[in-house]
Amino acid sequence: MKFPIILRAIPMPTIDEEEMDLIQVRDEKRSWSVRKKAVYIALGAMVIIAVPLFIWLSGEIHAADKAFDALSQMLVAKDYDAAYSSASDELQNAVAKHEFIGQQTKLCAKYGSLKAVKRGSSVPTVNLSGVFTTIDATFIFERADSRFSFSLKKVGDSWRLYSYEQE
């Protein structure tokens, strides 16, 4: 025996346009809250990483500038042995002590005695070879000024002269 299947229409609750707008706004707010939370977490992580890095880098730049100022004073005082001793092993392997002293002597013969060194900008870099800072400086001689670019390398706890060139 077959029973007739009777389909009844179940009345669906009707949602008017205003209620749909409210539901959509509520969903958008919920979605923005999730996105806002992710943005705040990302910003917080950046601050947590950036602040200590900035503090460390500021300290390193200051230390490199002090090391460069000490090197400058050695050159002004014509203490070339001490200036050469403050160079990194890489520079000492590339330039013999007598060559280094000869370069300084030639500069003084050409321009006169070195009177002062005016330090310019410092630009730090970190790469696979280590931590470096590049310092632009102006050498003020008796008869002329000359620009130089110095590279200092962090070796242990000290900054050492890594390379230099006259511009």
What tens digit of pLDDT does each residue of 66-83 get? 999 999 999 999 999 999
Query: CB under 8 Å to 113, separation ≥6 — which residues?
Result: 141, 142
Instruction: Report the percent of the chain where pLDDT is more than 90.
Output: 53
Beta carbons of 147 and 135 less than 8 angstroms apart:
no
What tens digit of pLDDT does each residue of 97-113 get? 999 999 999 999 999 99
- The confidence score (pLDDT) of residue 5 equals 61
Question: Which value, in Å, is the radius of gyration of the alpha carbons in the chain?
Answer: 34
Instruction: Answer yes or no: is pLDDT of 116 > 70.
Output: yes
- The confidence score (pLDDT) of residue 92 equals 95
Q: Tokens 């102006």 sit at which residue?
A: 138
Pick the more confident residue, 12 or 61. Answer: 61
- The confidence score (pLDDT) of residue 80 equals 95
Q: Which fold has domain 25-166?
A: Nuclear Transport Factor 2; Chain: A, (3.10.450)
Instruction: Answer yes or no: is pLDDT of 7 > 60.
Output: no
Average pLDDT over residues 144-161: 93
Spell out the SS3 assignment of 102-162: HHHHHHHHHHCCEEEEEEEEEEEEEECCEEEEEEEEEEEECCCEEEEEEEEEEECCEEEEE
Pick the more confident residue, 20 or 117. Answer: 117
Average pLDDT over residues 93-97: 95
Q: Rounded to 5 degrees, what angle do the CA atoms 78, 145, 150 make?
A: 65
Tokens of 89: 């092993």
